[in-house]
Amino acid sequence: MSSRPPPRQMPRGAPERGWRLAGMAVALIVLAPILAIVAVASGAAEGVWPHLVAYVLPEAIRQTAILVAGVGILVVTMGTGLAWLVVAYDFPGRRLLEWALLLPLAMPTYIVAYAYLDILHPVGPVQSLLRAALGITSPRDLGFPDVRSMGGCILLLSFVLYPYVYASVRATFLVQAGGVVEASHSLGAGRFRTFLSIAVPLARPAIVAGTTLALLETLNDIGASEFLGVRTLTVSIYTTWINRGSLAGAAQIALFMLAVVMTLVVVERIARRHADYADAEPGRLKPKRLQGWAAVTATAMAALPVLVGFLIPVLHLCNEAYRRLRFAGFSHNLVDAIRNTASLAVVATVVTLVLATAIIVALRLAAQRGPREVRRVGMLARLASLGYAVPGTVLAIGLMVPLATIDNAIDAALRASLGLSTGLIFSGTVFALIYAYAMRFLALAIGGMEAGLAKMPLTLDDAARTLGAYSGGLIRRIHLPLLWPAMASAAILIFVDCMKELPATLLLRPLDFETLATQLYAEASRGTYEDGAVAALLIVLVGFLPVVGLARLSRHGFVRPRRSSSRRGSGTDSEIDGDLTAGPQPGF
Amino acid sequence: MSINRIVRIACLAGIAGFSAGVSPAALAAEEVTLYTTREPGLIKPLLDAFTEKSGVQVKTLFVKDGLAERVATEGANSPADVLMTVDFGNLIDLVDKGVVQPVKSDALNAAIPANLRDADGRWFALSTRARVLYASKDRTDLKSFTYEDLADPKWKGKVCIRAGQHPYNTALIANMIAKDGAAKTEEWLKGVKANLARKAGGGDRDVARDILGGICDVGLANSYYVGLMRSGAGGPDQVKWGEAINVILPTFEKGGTHVNVSGAAVAKNAPHAANAVKLLEFLVSDEAQELYAKANFEYPVKAGVKADPIIASFGELKIDPAELTAIGKNRKAASELADKVGFDN
């Protein structure tokens, strides 16, 4: 293509249309199961709603709101505060802690909940030690708060989910804070005031992006909330379905929840529409070195989340796993489970990225043609991101319907015409699992890549076109290489999420097929928690490696924009290289 | 490293992983496919014994919620032969959704008492478990107990129990509705709720752990957990939990002890229906029923097969006469009552 002479006009031909069709196809892939849920929801659910409205929803909405508000406040405070701490200050252990702060991402919420009940229970180590130290014999006299409570649930979820905010905000601070903060300093504002009045407003898109992900995880969480006794809407979906046998009613609650989420996301987007954040002066902030008590405090503050969200539960798991391994040895099932988990997560990640690429390219090509076109294709991107906002099991049921319909139709057609039976081709195979993961986590890929794309000025495309590259060549040679860091960090998040995914995996997987998460669940639901500890530890370990990768990526982000001070304002490469968007973004 | 190369390597790694997982050895001639909500660890010994005896290979899929939905959507091409669930409600759901077929088997009818199977052979109970009282060894001295006692204000702040919406509790509440009606059951639920020492939640074993930890004195939980804890199957910590409690078989004031079942049915579109029946018949053989008793600490359904000594030590089980189907019918009402009194809030 590059041999063709440069076009005089914007090409309006087939490639654009082709990409838009591809984008539509991807959106359709995600929408098919959601439409199936709508179909399920339209089934008869007599007598379900009066009961729900009278006795279930008020309390479920109240508890969900408290949980989401609590987790929201904590993850924003922790994520933003910690990001500022490691970017704006220098203190002992900073280089280690700034990536270690990402580690809780590797912890599934249900594992953290199990672990902390063990640790903080009256018969667990903490209370036993406290009683011994204080000379108290009865656990009741100690009055230690129970982790099985709203407060416990908020705290535990926050300590595991804050890295979503931390990662995206830190990425923003790293590349964008330098210039404005220096300006703020030169006008006499201190670091803390600068943080509140300059840095936080500047990072608002990143804060919103990270918080959205954390809160969607909170909303869809079933393991930790149910175990800790919090009755969220998602828990109500399950009881409506399982105990009252109304899948239609359950699907209706799920859609109601989806509608609320979409409304909030749209409201936020509208509120942000007229603000332009992209032009903040780029440049790296020089961290201020802390001394004495200030340094000790900073180190302690940055170490605490790593301890609570990662190190303590992991050490507990190690202890349990060690006891288990001494007792019964390493189970061969686990070897299979490790292989299944890792291969599945890798393939699903690649598929998700490929699908997201179609959307992203369509979006980029639309940008050449004005805001109306962008809005249209943007709709596709939003639709394709819906999967992240639906609880796993509901989504799995939505997925089973179209897959089985296709399978049975193929089978019936071939039986009629050729007299042979194909059985189930897609249902109950790895295909179904990969489909589920892709539609669930497409939001992460689209969001991450969209943010990366936004940093590339359209003039870049024009320049490339003048030089004869357009459509295919433009995408392959310009966009994708520049998007590579954003794709890589999205890939890592998707990989970790695939590995942790439980409800859809449990329902859709093939016969005799176990992943680490299903293995752990099987052991935990039998109550032989120590058996599950080995699987739990393996999930954390396999999830640990990509998180380290994410940390390495973002450290590169540190080094690259070194030329920015000399070329500020003129060059675009520093912005692109530097903003590795190591931070996660939802595609909403 | 270019994106292309990484993508290529990643794909190869993934494909290699899968192809290693799918071996051609799966082409055994005789097989049966089991969909189960029972934990694989619990039924594995039974299935291994079956394969050894019959030569039939068993493929399993362990699912929690949505087993019936999966079979139903798979439709005529579903590979499922046997569907196995814990909790009677889940079992009857399979019948209601029309995913099972009637089975005529003299062996099954002879081994399972009539009240523990469907007259038309659409479902069979394979083992039973009682909802029993765990009571602190140190702080209580109870000889007998009724479910109604749990609402007695003298237990205020001393009761632990899992969520009212958990199927085990829903079945118990449904049992009470079947006996005493909804109004009386609602009063009882309110009373129990007022006595709770902590939020209703967690698992059955947590009742024993919380009693050991001094959070509460009494609570309801399933019988087999006592065996799993005390035998050491759950690790050394759980032995301590199990030893901290006395176990009493409670009864309804006018009736017996509430039991639930684990059971199975043959799938409507079972490709290997004959093997499916063979598996069910094996599961009620003396050998398998002893495994249910010894490895899982459940009550065997077959007369003449003894419960494990740990379980037998609770005394003689007097099962409440309410029909399982009546309990199944009241399940929705029970779940709604639990919501109405805000049991889990």
Residue B164 touches partner A, C-beta closer than 8 Å: no
Report d(CA B37, CA B64) in Å as an integer: 5
Whether residue A280 is predicted with pLDDT greater than 90 in this model: the reply is: no
Is the CB of residue A444 less than 8 Å from the CB of residue A493?
Answer: yes
Residues 421-480 of A with CB under 8 A from B: 421, 423-424, 427-428, 430, 480
Residue B23 domain flag: no
Please compute the mean of the pLDDT values over residues A416-438 and round it to a whole number: 88
A69, two tokens: 């508000």
Residue B13 domain flag: no
Dihedral in degrees, nearest 10, Cα atoms A15, A16, A20, A26:
40
Q: Which residues in chain B have Cβ-Cβ distances shorter than 8 Å to A127? A: 213
- Could you tell me whether strands B218-222 and B159-160 are parallel, antiparallel, or unpaired per DSSP bridges? parallel
A475, two tokens: 């995408």
**B321 & B175 share domain:** yes
- Give residue B162's domain range: 130-258+316-340
> Which of A2-6, A55-59, A182-186, A527-531 ranks highest by mean pLDDT?
A55-59
CATH code for position B37:
3.40.190.10
Yes or no, beta carbons of A407 and B77 under 8 Å apart: yes
**B277 & B335 share domain:** no
The C-alpha of A324 sits at a distance from chain B's nearest C-alpha, in angstroms, of 8
Predicted local confidence at residue A558, as pLDDT: 36
Q: Which domains, and CATH codes, for chain A?
A: 8-32+344-515 (1.10.3720.10)
Residues 87-116 of A with CB under 8 A from B: none
**B223 & B321 share domain:** yes
Q: Which residues in chain A have Cβ-Cβ distances shorter than 8 Å to B65? A: 238, 241-242, 393, 503, 507
Q: Please give the residue of chain A at the shortest CA–CA distance from B7.
A: A350
The C-alpha of B331 sits at a distance from chain A's nearest C-alpha, in angstroms, of 7
| B169-224 pLDDT per residue, tens | 999 999 999 999 999 999 999 999 999 999 898 889 999 999 999 999 999 999 99
B324, two tokens: 């399982």
Report d(CA B98, CA A264) in Å as an integer: 41
Q: What is the ipTM of this complex?
A: 0.82
Place of tokens 């979820």: A157
pLDDT above 70 covers a percentage of chain A that reads 85
**B120 & B246 share domain:** no
Residue A148 touches partner B, C-beta closer than 8 Å: yes
Amino acid identity, position B188: W
Residue B85 domain flag: yes
Residue B9 domain flag: no
Nearest by CB to residue B332, choosing from A117, A245, A503, is A245
Three-state DSSP at B314 gives coil
Residues in chain B: 345
Burial A237-264 (b: 16+ CB within 10 A, else e): bbbbbbbbbbbbbbbbbbbbbbeebeee
Residue A128 touches partner B, C-beta closer than 8 Å: no
Q: How many alpha carbons lie under 13 Å from residue B211 in its C-beta half-sphere?
A: 29
The C-alpha of B169 sits at a distance from chain A's nearest C-alpha, in angstroms, of 11
List residues forming the annotated binding site of B for Fe cation: 224-225
Report d(CA A100, CA A210) in Å as an integer: 18
| A87-122 pLDDT per residue, tens | 889 999 998 998 899 899 888 888 898 889 889 988
- Predicted confidence band at A447 (pLDDT cuts at 50, 70, 90)? confident
Residue of A455, A447, A548 whose CA lies nearest to A212: A447
Predicted local confidence at residue A529, as pLDDT: 58
Report d(CA A424, CA A401) in Å as an integer: 12
Is the CB of residue B267 less than 8 Å from the CB of residue B98?
Answer: no
**B113 & B148 share domain:** no
Report d(CA A178, CA A565) in Å as an integer: 10
**B93 & B187 share domain:** no
The C-alpha of B251 sits at a distance from chain A's nearest C-alpha, in angstroms, of 24
pTM for this model (two decimals) = 0.85
Residue B201 domain flag: yes
Report d(CA A60, CA A219) in Å as an integer: 11
A127, two tokens: 């209370």
Residue B277 domain flag: yes
Please list, in sequence order, all residues whose beta carbon lies within 8 angstroms of the beta carbon of residue B66, skipping any fewer than 6 positions away.
Answer: A393, A396, A397, A507
CA quadruple B266, B268, B271, B274: dihedral positive or negative? positive
pLDDT above 90 covers a percentage of chain A that reads 22
Yes or no, beta carbons of B339 and A512 under 8 Å apart: no
Residue B3 domain flag: no
**B117 & B143 share domain:** no
As a 3-state breakdown, chain B gives helix, strand, coil percent values, each rounded to 5, of 50, 15, 35
What domain count does chain B have? 2
Please compute the mean of the pLDDT values over residues A398-414 and round it to a whole number: 89
**B326 & B237 share domain:** yes
Residue B149 domain flag: yes
B156, two tokens: 């205020």
**B331 & B196 share domain:** yes
**B159 & B206 share domain:** yes
**B120 & B186 share domain:** no
| B29-44 pLDDT per residue, tens | 699 999 999 887 788 8
**B50 & B34 share domain:** yes
Predicted local confidence at residue B10, as pLDDT: 56
The 10 Å Cβ neighbour count of residue A187 is: 8
Yes or no, beta carbons of B167 and A63 under 8 Å apart: no
| B115-168 pLDDT per residue, tens | 999 999 999 999 999 999 999 999 999 999 999 999 999 999 999 999 999 999
Q: How far is CA A310 from CA A302, A313, A316, A511, A512, in A?
A: 13, 6, 10, 33, 32
